[in-house]
């Protein structure tokens, strides 16, 4: 019964942790080249446990779910307990649930609900395959055991991240995942690029974490708790629910716990007691900032492509499946908070759309296969946020669905690129190899399946999930159009219908229903454009790698061949799943119904929106056509001659401009017969100086015009895309460089002024000491005299003071 | 007045110690190497401890519940009981440390003399009578002169002993002069009266009340009020006791004498007089002159001067025992912090808090001191006598256990967390800050804020030289000198005695244990503090009434017996 569930909940994160400890302890000496065994076994065990957990949760949620959703919380031990740490504003206390006096108490809790168990099975499955793949890929590397320790630690952190039932612990593991990713990206730390990339990923994430931390503080001061769940419903490990004791009286801690609602617990969702207005918006935007950091959303997307420096399987693990999805998971978990604040929801959608477009544009021109995939990941994550940003059940479930299917085909693509990279001797520049389809047949076929899935071609996985997002955008636009037509002018009114209890005095009026309708309509078209680009760049990379004349770089040496079974096996498994899992889940409606039983999605305003699982034929047809169009264009450009590509890229690069910038060309005009004729004629009538002056003026004008044209050269569409819209340079100029300068300045001040003052203080006591040492002369009469004098001085002071 | 039988039964452990000491003196004259005598030298303390904990077991609980009672010249309170057990433990540890340093033919004399000093401290812990108190203090001092001289016979020891002797006599004179003023004011030698019999406390309280009323009415009394003598009494008694504590300006002897004495004797000097000073100060000043401005202002000033001077001078020292001598001066300053809080407090709770902090600090200091000096003794016994800090270099490798205990002691002295000293400092500063921030002590907050700041600064300064010792042991390699005893083959095989080793390890364990589980120590110190705080708060006119002490858990007493 419960004990079985509890055991599974503990096993899923416990096994990777045990493996991490084991490899860390025995890796360097005993295990050495066998270091992957404990990790692979533990991850496989963890995967089986999470599958069992999934089954258990599915059965229980079907039995008890219904209204309010299903969740089961297991409290392991109390981590922090500061009684009476906060007194809530009495006005807020009612909305917060429970008494106004709050204990700052954090229990280490694990939770099982549809959302968590889905994430768990996905994470552990991909991790297991990546670990198997890495066993082949990393063979013979220095620090083999270290790599597997990091992997196990990473999986532990990630499983805990999705398992914990408390914002503070979520933050802890959020950071732990960041640390692991830092270690993994910088795994080849002697390589300066790798070390710098690890640092960059870590620092950019700090910006997001700063927002997340602020959001936590705000949640604590407004909601008075950081738990997701109601504390009264948490079960201890032995199985019984920790109900508050009946005999408790007065203001005891257990008394204060009664009626205390978790932040996203079913009870609170049922009561719909969420902050709207300014505070609610602030919380949501700060949470979104945190999600932007971890999920590489604009404007914090810059770290992810650099993270390609890590060993390939790591890239796959981090980017495709796990770490970047943490942000999506967190926003999904906080859906009720976002529902209370429509502007925040629109922000999520806009950020997602902007990221999807920007990253898609950048991916069009990259030469590095892994970078194409990295930007594609950023773009697809933007897609997920687009889905979440609709705020409808349809969209959120679609976002989670895309997360789920994307994990499979993106892991497939990353592992495939790893296989290519392995064969090419760590060369990943697509200009240096081509036509590999005969050399690497398995990789070729599996990579193609991944590409088709990513491009969204039916009936592969990517099609279903992407289509669901596009459809949800379409529906949302439609919904707001209807709302504005009905005369409901503001979404605030819309929200207040369902939740009369919330103080919506400062309810949002920034966005009218009509504006929202226009926004979602625009995002719908944007999504289609991005879908087109996705299909194009995916197949561009595919054709460049596997078609054309067979070329192999010199670094590949003699091992330009298909990869070993430990690498091909995971590819094959992933290919099958990438092809089939989306369609299977879509047609059985399994995913949508299951995930929507998670407490965050099973109640509140979200429920009032569209039901998930409906299939929109027109939208599906449109997106299919768009995807096929992208593939066809790529095929036309990259399968045939290269002339069209050259022409297109030169057009996009504004190459004509450079001819205009040529001063020589202006100067050559002088030699044109008709100009020379005019000049000669003018000379004869004595106006030679005039034509000369005109000519010089023209030359001067040409020079003046050159500068803006040169700028135009740098911001040509091709260059913008190729140089990633100069985001790195912009950050360098606006953030990194000023801070470095400031740092140098402060270091100087610290060294010469602060340290100087401190050293002065440090020298003072010793100087004083040497002064006093002279009193210690070793003469008994002097000592006796000092004692007597001391006494007399005390008495004299007393008499002089003449006090009491 | 002959003491009745009840009084004698209350002094059983002391009697056992004195009889054992006599046996050691007499028996040692005939058979100085007898094994029985060696056993007696240690066993008497254990017997005393067993008697204290066993025979008087039942009294512990009643002490917690009833507070202080008086039986003639003895006061039966928790403070006395706790300090007596602590003293016996200290005595056992010291006897273990010293058992091998003295030459064989003087062994029994040495053990007996040490036993007398311990008995003296136990008398001080329980004295409710001026004469008994003074005799107890002298019973500590006089054997100490002999002990210092017996430790080693060279010129520096002789000089140190002579210095200590003369200056100690002078301080005893000051103390006696102060006591005579007390007697002159009260007309009795009993400190706390019982029933109809008035003690010094009651008489002083009523004199003070009379003086206050006279001042309020601005009337000139026909007869001079004896309260006028209070400042003289307080200052002279404090001066006498400050010598025991080695507080400024009565500290001069400490560095010289520590340097001249053996490590074991230095341990004795560092612990016994200091404990006696704290006890006597509590009984004579804190209990009798509560919230008396002259007393607490003097204590605060002396405290600030003492800890600053001790720490600053210690920074320069290269000689280990001299360094620890200055360090002991600094710790007197810290002890005075707690005592001054206890002095100024006008309610029981705060007074008890200050006293409890002082007592905890005293225990932490005592164990760390004995542990440190025991480690030095052990090093000397293992053929590596240490006089200068540089000589400690490489000890972490060659003598890891001794170096470890010495490091633990230093960390505890420095007040680094997880060691007993940290909690001691924590409690002292907490009580001071409570005084500085408390709403009712507005005008006084400046004094105590200064005290807290100076204390914190001093803790930082102190850490510098304590960590220097640790650094020398663990981060410097031993200089390779061919003639040094450590590199000499025969000396390197020599190992310290088991007794020193066991004392050293026990101290290390106690210091760490008190740091890890400070609750037990704090509870005991809290009860002791309360027992005195209650006696100090006696209303002036109705002397015999003792306010009830907060009822406490009876198991506290048992837990306390095992770990002071």
The pair of structure tokens assigned to A728 is 């790195």
> Could you tell me which of B403, B390, B397, B396 has the C-alpha nearest to residue B479?
B390
pLDDT at B538: 53
Buried b (16+ CB within 10 A) or exposed e, A41-56: ebbbbbbbbbbbbbeb
On the 0-12 / 13-18 / 19+ scale of CB atoms within 10 A, A714 is exposed
> Could you tell me if residue B229 is inside a domain?
no
Band (pLDDT 50/70/90 cuts) for residue B547 is very low
Strand partners, A87: A101
| The pLDDT of residue B177 is above 70 | yes
Q: How many CB atoms lie within 10 A of CB B229?
A: 16
Percent pLDDT > 70 in chain A is: 82
Q: Does A558 touch chain B (CB under 8 A)?
A: no
pLDDT in tens, A333-370: 888 888 888 888 888 999 999 999 988 888 888 888 88
Q: Does A802 touch chain B (CB under 8 A)?
A: no
Could you report the predicted ipTM of this complex, rounded to two decimals? 0.78
Q: Does A789 touch chain B (CB under 8 A)?
A: yes
> Which segments of A424-460 does DSSP mark as H helices, in order?
441-455
Give the span between the Cα atoms of A49 and A9, in whole angstroms.
Answer: 8
Judged by CB atoms closer than 8 Å, whether chains meet at B167 and A778 is answered as no
Give the span between the Cα atoms of B286 and B292, in whole angstroms.
Answer: 9
pLDDT in tens, B518-541: 888 888 888 888 888 777 655 444
**Helix (H), strand (E) at residue A107:** strand A101-112
pLDDT at B119: 95
> Could you tell me if residue B562 is inside a domain?
no
> Could you tell me if residue B154 is inside a domain?
no
Percent pLDDT > 90 in chain B is: 36
pLDDT in tens, A193-208: 777 888 888 888 888 8
> Could you tell me if residue B37 is inside a domain?
no
Least CB–CB distance from A765: residue in B236, B238, B312: B312
Percent pLDDT > 90 in chain A is: 4
Find the residue in A nearest to B247 (Cα). Answer: A787
Give the span between the Cα atoms of A537 and A554, in whole angstroms.
Answer: 26
Give the span between the Cα atoms of B134 and A140, in whole angstroms.
Answer: 81
CB B88, CB B80: distance < 8 Å: no
Judged by CB atoms closer than 8 Å, whether chains meet at A765 and B461 is answered as yes
Interface mutation target, options A765, A792, A799, A800, chain B, most CBs of B under 10 Å: A765
CB A107, CB A262: distance < 8 Å: no
Give chain A positions within 8 Å (CB) of B255. 776
pLDDT in tens, A671-695: 777 777 877 787 788 777 887 788 7
| The pLDDT of residue B19 is above 90 | yes
Interface mutation target, options A787, A793, A800, A802, chain B, most CBs of B under 10 Å: A787
Band (pLDDT 50/70/90 cuts) for residue B122 is very high
Between residues A645 and A786, which one has the greater pLDDT? A786
Three-class HEC string of A505-567: CCCCCCCCHHHHHHHHHHHHHHHHHHHHHHHHHHHHHHHHHHCCCCECCHHHCCCCCCCCHHH
Judged by CB atoms closer than 8 Å, whether chains meet at A786 and B171 is answered as no
| The pLDDT of residue B563 is above 50 | no
Find the residue in A nearest to B236 (Cα). Answer: A791
Between residues B291 and B483, which one has the greater pLDDT? B291
Band (pLDDT 50/70/90 cuts) for residue A48 is very high
CB B67, CB B535: distance < 8 Å: yes
pLDDT in tens, A519-538: 888 888 999 899 888 988 88
Which range is least confidently modeled, A710-719, B52-61, B280-289, B550-559?
B550-559
Average pLDDT score, chain A: 79
Pairs across A and B, CB distance < 8 A: 75
pLDDT at B248: 85
Closest chain B C-alpha to A81 CA, distance in angstroms = 19
| The pLDDT of residue A415 is above 90 | no
> Could you tell me if residue B74 is inside a domain?
no
Mapped onto helix, strand or coil, the DSSP state of residue A434 is strand
CB B496, CB B379: distance < 8 Å: yes
Residue B324 carries which DSSP code?
H
Residue A750 carries which DSSP code?
I
The residue written with tokens 């602030």 in the block is A282
Between residues B117 and B476, which one has the greater pLDDT? B117
Judged by CB atoms closer than 8 Å, whether chains meet at A778 and B256 is answered as yes
The 3-state DSSP composition of chain B as helix, strand, coil percent (nearest 5) reads 75, 0, 20
Interface mutation target, options A767, A771, A795, chain B, most CBs of B under 10 Å: A795
CB A187, CB A143: distance < 8 Å: yes
Give chain A positions within 8 Å (CB) of B315. 765-766, 769
Give chain A positions within 8 Å (CB) of B292. 804
pLDDT in tens, A312-325: 666 666 665 678 88
| The pLDDT of residue A456 is above 70 | yes
Give chain B positions within 8 Å (CB) of A768. 312
Judged by CB atoms closer than 8 Å, whether chains meet at A795 and B166 is answered as no
Q: What is the Cα A175 distance to its own chain's centre?
A: 12
How many degrees, rounded to 5, is the angle at CA A554 between CA A550 and CA A559? 75
Average pLDDT over residues B178-205: 87
> Could you tell me which of A251, A243, A269, A260 has the C-alpha nearest to residue A75?
A243
The 3-state DSSP composition of chain A as helix, strand, coil percent (nearest 5) reads 75, 5, 20
Band (pLDDT 50/70/90 cuts) for residue B504 is very high
Average pLDDT over residues A173-194: 81
Find the residue in A nearest to B233 (Cα). Answer: A795
Between residues B219 and A24, which one has the greater pLDDT? A24
Judged by CB atoms closer than 8 Å, whether chains meet at A786 and B298 is answered as no
Q: Does A707 touch chain B (CB under 8 A)?
A: no
| The pLDDT of residue A499 is above 50 | no
Give the span between the Cα atoms of A800 and A797, in whole angstroms.
Answer: 5
pLDDT at B68: 65
Q: How many CB atoms lie within 10 A of CB B446?
A: 11
Judged by CB atoms closer than 8 Å, whether chains meet at B252 and A765 is answered as no
Between residues A230 and B126, which one has the greater pLDDT? B126
pLDDT at A370: 83
Interface mutation target, options A771, A784, A801, A802, chain B, most CBs of B under 10 Å: A784
Strand partners, A72: A112
Which range is least confidently modeled, A211-225, A243-257, A258-272, B197-211?
A243-257
Give chain B positions within 8 Å (CB) of A790. 239, 248-250
Which range is least confidently modeled, A201-215, A410-424, A771-785, B261-275?
A771-785
Number of domains in chain B: 1
Query: Helix B230-245 to helix B320-344 angle, to the nearest 10 degrees?
Result: 150
pLDDT at B182: 92
Query: Helix B498-516 to helix B400-414 angle, to the nearest 10 degrees?
Result: 40
Strand partners, A551: A434
Which range is least confidently modeled, A283-287, B56-60, B203-207?
B56-60
CB A121, CB A47: distance < 8 Å: yes
| The pLDDT of residue A802 is above 60 | no
Give the span between the Cα atoms of A228 and A116, in whole angstroms.
Answer: 13
pLDDT at B77: 84
> Could you tell me if residue B335 is inside a domain?
yes
Give chain B positions within 8 Å (CB) of A773. 313, 316
> Could you tell me if residue B141 is inside a domain?
no
Of A66-75, B60-69, B303-312, highest mean pLDDT: B303-312
Give the span between the Cα atoms of B413 and B402, in whole angstroms.
Answer: 16
Q: Specify the length of chain B in residues.
A: 564
Which range is least confidently modeled, A476-485, A576-585, B61-70, B321-330?
B61-70
pLDDT at A279: 82
Band (pLDDT 50/70/90 cuts) for residue A748 is confident
Interface mutation target, options B156, B209, B227, B231, chain A, most CBs of A under 10 Å: B231
pLDDT at A653: 67
Write out the residue range of the structural domain in which residue B445 sits. 291-479+486-537
Find the residue in A nearest to B215 (Cα). Answer: A804
Q: How many CB atoms lie within 10 A of CB A216?
A: 19
| The pLDDT of residue B359 is above 90 | yes
Average pLDDT over residues B295-319: 89
> Could you tell me if residue B155 is inside a domain?
no
**Helix (H), strand (E) at residue A87:** strand A72-87
CB A604, CB A336: distance < 8 Å: yes
The pair of structure tokens assigned to B219 is 């009337």
Q: Does A696 touch chain B (CB under 8 A)?
A: no
Judged by CB atoms closer than 8 Å, whether chains meet at B170 and A787 is answered as yes
CB B296, CB B350: distance < 8 Å: no
Find the residue in A nearest to B299 (Cα). Answer: A794
Residue A156 carries which DSSP code?
H
Residues 6 or more apart from B244 whose CB is under 8 A from it?
Answer: B137, B171, B273, B274, B276, B277, B280
pLDDT at B249: 86
pLDDT at B58: 67
Strand partners, B91: none
């Amino acid at each position: 019964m419960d004990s079985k569930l509890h055991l599974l909940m503990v096993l899923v994160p416990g096994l990777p942790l045990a493996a991490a400890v084991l490899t860390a302890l025995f890796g360097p000496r005993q295990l050495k080249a066998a270091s992957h065994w404990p990790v692979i076994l533990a991850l496989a065990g963890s995967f089986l446990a999470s599958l069992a957990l999934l089954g258990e949760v599915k059965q229980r949620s079907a039995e008890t779910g219904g209204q309010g959703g299903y969740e089961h919380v297991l409290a392991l031990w109390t981590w922090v307990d500061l009684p009476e740490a906060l007194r809530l504003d009495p006005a807020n206390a009612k909305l917060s649930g429970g008494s106004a006096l709050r204990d700052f108490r954090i229990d280490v809790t694990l939770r099982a609900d549809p959302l968590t168990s889905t994430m768990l099975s996905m994470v552990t499955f991909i991790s297991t395959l990546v670990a198997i793949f890495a066993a082949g890929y990393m063979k013979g590397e220095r620090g083999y055991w270290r790599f597997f320790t990091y992997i196990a630690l990473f999986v532990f952190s990630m499983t805990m991240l999705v398992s914990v039932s408390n914002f503070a612990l979520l933050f802890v593991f959020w950071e732990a995942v960041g640390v692991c990713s830092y270690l993994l990206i910088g795994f080849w730390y002697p390589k300066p690029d790798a070390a710098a990339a690890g640092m960059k990923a870590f620092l950019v994430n700090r910006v997001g974490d700063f927002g997340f931390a602020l959001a936590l503080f705000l949640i604590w001061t407004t909601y008075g708790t950081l738990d997701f769940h109601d504390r009264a419903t948490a079960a201890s490990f032995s199985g019984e629910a920790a109900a508050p004791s009946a005999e408790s009286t007065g203001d005891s801690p257990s008394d204060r716990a009664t009626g205390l609602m978790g932040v996203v617990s079913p009870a609170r969702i049922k009561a719909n007691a969420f902050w709207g207005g300014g505070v609610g918006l602030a919380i949501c935007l700060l949470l979104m900032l945190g999600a932007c950091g971890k999920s590489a959303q604009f404007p914090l997307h810059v770290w992810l492509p650099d993270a390609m420096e890590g060993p390939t399987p790591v890239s796959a693990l981090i980017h495709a499946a796990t770490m970047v999805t943490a942000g999506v998971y967190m926003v999904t978990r906080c859906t009720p908070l976002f529902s209370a604040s429509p502007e925040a929801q629109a922000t999520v959608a806009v950020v997602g759309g902007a990221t999807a477009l920007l990253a898609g544009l950048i991916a069009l021109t990259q030469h590095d296969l892994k970078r194409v995939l990295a930007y594609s990941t950023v773009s697809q994550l933007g897609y997920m946020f687009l889905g979440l940003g609709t705020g409808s059940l349809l969209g959120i479930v679609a976002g989670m669905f895309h997360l789920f299917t994307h994990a499979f085909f993106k892991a497939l693509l990353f592992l495939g690129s790893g296989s290519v990279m392995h064969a090419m001797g760590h060369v990943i520049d697509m200009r240096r190899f081509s036509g590999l389809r005969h050399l690497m047949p398995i990789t070729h076929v599996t990579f193609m399946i991944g590409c088709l899935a990513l491009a969204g071609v039916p009936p592969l996985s990517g099609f279903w999930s992407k289509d669901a997002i596009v459809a949800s955008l379409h529906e949302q636009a439609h919904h707001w159009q209807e709302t504005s037509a009905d005369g409901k002018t503001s979404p605030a009114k819309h929200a207040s219908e369902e939740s009369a209890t919330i103080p919506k005095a400062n309810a949002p009026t920034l966005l009218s229903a009509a504006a929202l309708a226009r926004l979602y309509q625009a995002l719908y078209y944007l999504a289609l454009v991005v879908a087109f680009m996705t299909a194009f760049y995916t197949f561009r990379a595919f054709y460049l790698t596997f078609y054309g004349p067979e070329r192999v770089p010199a670094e590949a040496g003699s091992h330009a061949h298909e990869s070993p079974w430990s690498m091909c096996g995971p590819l094959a498994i992933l290919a099958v799943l990438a092809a089939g899992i989306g369609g299977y889940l879509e047609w059985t409606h399994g995913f949508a119904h299951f995930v929507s039983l998670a407490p965050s999605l099973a109640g509140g305003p979200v429920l009032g929106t569209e039901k998930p699982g409906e299939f929109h034929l027109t939208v599906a047809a449109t997106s299919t056509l768009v995807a096929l169009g992208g593939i066809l264009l790529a095929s036309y450009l990259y399968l045939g001659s290269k002339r069209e590509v050259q022409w297109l890229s030169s057009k996009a690069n504004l190459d004509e401009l450079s001819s205009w910038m040529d001063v020589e060309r202006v100067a050559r005009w002088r030699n044109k017969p008709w100009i020379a004729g005019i000049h000669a004629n003018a000379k004869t009538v004595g106006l030679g100086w005039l034509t000369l002056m005109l000519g010089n003026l023209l030359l001067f004008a040409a020079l003046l015009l050159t500068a803006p044209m040169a700028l135009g050269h740098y911001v040509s569409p091709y260059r913008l895309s190729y140089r990633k819209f100069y985001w790195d340079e912009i950050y360098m100029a606006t953030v990194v460089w000023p801070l470095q300068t400031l740092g140098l300045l402060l270091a100087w001040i610290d060294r010469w002024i602060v340290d100087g003052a401190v050293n002065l203080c440090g020298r003072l006591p010793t100087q004083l000491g040497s002064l006093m040492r002279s009193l210690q002369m070793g003469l008994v009469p002097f000592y006796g005299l000092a004692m007597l004098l001391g006494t007399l001085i005390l008495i004299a002071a007393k008499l002089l003071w003449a006090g009491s | 007045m002959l003491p009745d039988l009840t009084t004698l039964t209350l002094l059983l452990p002391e009697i056992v110690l004195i009889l054992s000491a006599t046996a050691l003196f007499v028996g040692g004259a005939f058979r100085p190497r007898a094994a029985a005598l060696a056993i007696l030298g240690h066993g008497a303390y254990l017997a005393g401890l067993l008697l204290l904990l066993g025979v008087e077991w039942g009294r512990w609980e009643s002490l917690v519940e009833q507070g202080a009672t008086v039986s003639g010249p003895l006061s039966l309170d928790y403070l006395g009981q706790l300090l007596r057990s602590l003293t016996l433990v200290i005595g056992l540890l010291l006897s273990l440390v010293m058992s091998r340093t003295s030459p064989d033919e003087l062994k029994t004399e040495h053990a007996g003399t040490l036993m007398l000093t311990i008995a003296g401290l136990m008398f001080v812990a329980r004295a409710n009578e001026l004469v008994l108190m003074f005799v107890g203090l002298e019973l500590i001092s006089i054997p100490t002169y002999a002990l210092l001289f017996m430790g080693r016979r060279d010129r520096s020891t002789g000089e140190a002993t002579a210095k200590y002797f003369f200056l100690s006599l002078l301080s005893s004179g000051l103390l006696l002069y102060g006591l005579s003023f007390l007697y002159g004011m009260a007309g009795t030698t009993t400190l706390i009266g019982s029933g109809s019999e008035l003690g010094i406390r009651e008489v002083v309280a009523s004199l003070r009340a009379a003086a206050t009323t006279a001042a309020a009415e601005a009337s000139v009394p026909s007869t001079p009020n004896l309260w006028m003598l209070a400042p003289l009494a307080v200052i002279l008694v404090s001066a006498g006791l400050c010598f025991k504590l080695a507080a400024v300006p009565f500290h001069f002897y400490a560095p010289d004498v520590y340097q001249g004495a053996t490590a074991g004797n230095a341990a004795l000097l560092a612990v016994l007089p200091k404990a006696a000073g704290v006890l006597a100060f509590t009984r004579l000043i804190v209990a009798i002159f509560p919230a008396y401005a002259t007393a607490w202002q003097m204590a605060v000033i002396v405290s600030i001067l003492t800890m600053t001077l001790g720490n600053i001078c210690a920074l320069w020292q290269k000689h280990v025992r001299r360094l620890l001598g200055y360090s002991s001066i600094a710790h007197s300053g810290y002890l005075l912090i707690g005592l001054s809080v206890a002095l100024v407090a006008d309610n029981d709770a705060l007074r008890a808090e200050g006293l409890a902090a002082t007592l905890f600090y005293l225990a932490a200091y005592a164990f760390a001191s004995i542990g440190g000096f025991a480690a030095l003794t052990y090093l000397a016994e293992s053929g590596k006598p240490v006089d200068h800090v540089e000589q400690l270099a490489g000890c972490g490798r060659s003598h890891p256990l001794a170096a470890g205990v010495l490091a633990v002691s230093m960390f505890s002295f420095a007040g680094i967390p997880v060691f007993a000293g940290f909690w001691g400092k924590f409690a002292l500063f907490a009580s001071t800050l409570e005084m500085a921030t408390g709403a009712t002590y507005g005008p006084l907050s400046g004094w105590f804020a200064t005290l807290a700041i100076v204390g914190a600064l001093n803790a930082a300064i102190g850490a510098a030289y304590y960590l220097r010792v640790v650094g020398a042991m663990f981060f410097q390699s031993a200089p390779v000198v061919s003639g040094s005893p450590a590199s000499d083959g025969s000396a390197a095989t020599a190992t310290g005695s088991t007794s020193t080793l066991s004392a050293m390890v026990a101290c290390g364990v106690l210091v760490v244990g008190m740091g890890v589980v400070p609750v037990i120590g704090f509870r005991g110190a809290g009860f002791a503090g309360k027992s005195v705080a209650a006696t100090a708060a006696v209303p002036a006119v109705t002397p015999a009434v003792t306010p009830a002490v907060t009822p406490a858990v009876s198991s506290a007493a048992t837990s306390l017996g095992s770990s002071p």
